Structure 1
Amino acid sequence: MHHKRFILVLLLLLSKWCHAQTDCDELFAKTFDTDSLNPEKLDSLINDFGQLRHCGLDSLAFEISTGYSMFGLFIIPPIDKPYHKVTYREVFNMIQDYRNSPDYPHIVDIHKATQELKKRQVNLENWAQDRKILEKIPLKSSELDAYHQFLTANDFQDLTYYEAWIAFKSEQKIEESEPIVVQKKPFFVDESVGTSLHNVFERAKEEKKEIVFYFTGWANISSRKLEYKLFKEDWVGSQINERFLFVPLYIDDAELLSELDLNEELDIRFSENAKFNGQKNHNFQKHYLHEKAEIPSFAIIDYEGKLIRYIEKDINKKSFFDFLGISQVPSSSKSD
C-alpha cells in the first residue's frame, strides 16, 4: 500500500515537472519583433522575460539583462531587421553565453556599483570613499575629476550620485553657447511627500493648495534646458510655493513600485500594468493630459483630482507664468 502511494506521489510530481517543462518549451518557442518594443507592449515583453527565471535564468542575470543599459545589447541586435522574428530561446541562449563569458563578473560589479550609486546621497566629505564605487563602473580619471568639480560647484546634497551624474551628463550635451548651471533636484520641492500620489493629494488638501505636476525625465535634455530658463531665479520657486504644491513626476523613474506606493486606491489605479514608478507616473500623465502627452509638461490639478489646465508645448517664461497665473514678474525676468 505504501509502495503504491509512493508511486502515485512520484507520478504527480513528475506530471507537475513535465507541465513546468512544457511551459518553458512554450515560452522558448514564443517570438517577438521590433513592434514588441512599443511602450504599450514593452511591459508584456519584460513580463515574459521574467518567466525565464523559472526556466534556468538566475535573478541577477535577469535583472542585469533587462536593465536600461543592457536591454538593448540582448534585444535590439537580434531584431534589427524589420519583421524579423526572434525566439525567447535565442535571447535566453545569448544571456547564458554572456553569463559564462569572462566579461560577466565585470558587468556584475558595474551593476552592483550602479545600484549602490542610486541609493547613496552626494556627500563630498566622503568623496574619497565614494569615488572608489564610481571607479568600478569604470570611468576615466579625468571624467571623475570633472564630475567632482561639477558636484563642488552645485548644491547636490539632496541627490544621489546617480541622479547627479545624469545632471552632469545632460549638461555636457547642452550647447556650449548656453551656459547652464544645472539646478539641484528638483529646485524647490518638498520631498517628504514621497512617490505616493495619495500622499500628494492629502498634503494638498491639508494645505488647501492646488498641485502643479511637472512631468519630466531624468535623461530628458529638453527638461534640463527648460528648468534653467524657468527656475534659475529663486523668486520663481517662492512664488510657486506660496500658491501651489509643486510635484515633479519622472516618467523614466526606474525604481520598482513599493508596497508603500500601492496601499492606496489612487496609486493602485495608476499602477495597473506598471512595475516601475516611471510607468505609474506616465499612466497618471496620460490620464490627465492625453494618450500621446510629451515631456516636459505641466498640469495644475486641485486636491479633489480635477484638472484645471495643462501646458506642454511652446513653454517659455511668459507662457509658464501665464499658466501659473503669476502676474508680478520682476523686470529682469520678462524676457527669455
Structure 2
Amino acid sequence: MRKTLLITTLLLSFNGFCQSTQDCEKILKKEINLIPKDTVNLKRFVEDFSLLKNCGLDDGDIEVFSNGPVLGTILVELSSNKESDAKLTFQNLYDKVLQFKESEAYELTKTTILVSNELAKRPANIHNWNQDKILLEKLEVPSVFIDEFHNYLKEHSNPEKTYKQVFADFQEIKKSKKSETKPTEKEYDGIFKNAGNVDYDDLLNESIEFKKPLLLYFTGYASVNARKIEHYVLSDKTITEKLKNEFHFVNLYVDDRISLPENERIKSKTNGEFLKYVGQKHSELQKTKFNSNYQPYFVIIDKNGNIIKEQGYTTDIKIFEEFLTINE
C-alpha cells in the first residue's frame, strides 16, 4: 500500500512537472504584440507575463516586473534593438528579465517594489505601528524620517486610508513647510535636470574651466532607488549646496529615449549593437569608462580624467557627505 502511494505521488509530481515545462515552452514561443492604448491587449499581455512562473519566476518576480516603469523600460529596449522584420517573443523578454535578475541592484529593487506595494494596500493604523515600521526600515528609510512620520501618524491615524494616502498627505505638509523657509526651490529642482546629449570630454573641459571636479550622476526615470536617494539624501540642504557650489554636477539618464544624431550612432563595445538613443550612449559611457552598470551611480573625476571617488545607493546622509568631501 505504501509503495503504491509512493509511486502514485511520484507520477503526479512528474505529470505536474511535464505540464509546467510544456506551459513554459508555449508561453516563451508566443509573440509579443502590444498595441498602444489598447487596454484589453495590455491586460492580456500582463496575464501572459504572469505565466512565466512556469519558467521559474516566483510571485515576487512577477510583481516586480509587472511594475509599469520596469517592464516598460525593458520592452522599449527590446523593441528598439530588434531588426525591423524580427518577431519579439516572450523568450526575448524572459532572457532580459533573467539578465536583470542577475544584476547587483535587483534584490534591492525587488524589496523596494514589494514593500511599497504592501504599504499602498495597508491601512495607516497607529495601533499596528510596530509591525508597519519594519516595512519602512526594509525600504532603508532614514530613522529621522521614520520618527517624523510616526509623530505625524499619531495625530492622523486613519484605518480608512492606506499608508500611501497618508504618506502623500505627510509629504505635502513637509513640502509646504520647506517652501516657506526655502525661497530658492526652483534652483534646487534644477540640479536633477537631464543633461541630455552631452559629450564626456566636453564635460571634463567644462569642469576644468569652472575649476571644480566633475561629478557625474548616472540615473534613470525608471530607477526607484534614484528617486529615493534624491528624496532622502540629495534634497538635504547641506548636500544640495555642496552639489551646486563645489562640483560640476551633471545628471545622465540611461533610459533617455531621445534619438541620437546619425553621426553618433556608433557600435556598442559591450554588445556590438548600434547605439540609437541618448540613454544608450550614457549607459555605454558608464559601462566602458567606469566599469559600472547600476543606478544610481555617482563618480567624481579630476581634471586629468582620473576617478577620485565612487558612490552607489545609500540613504545615509553622513555617508554621502563623506563621499563629497575631497581631501586636497
TM-score normalised to structure 1 length: 0.41
TM-score by length of 2: 0.42
Structure with the bigger RCO (C-alpha within 8 Å, sep 6+) is 2
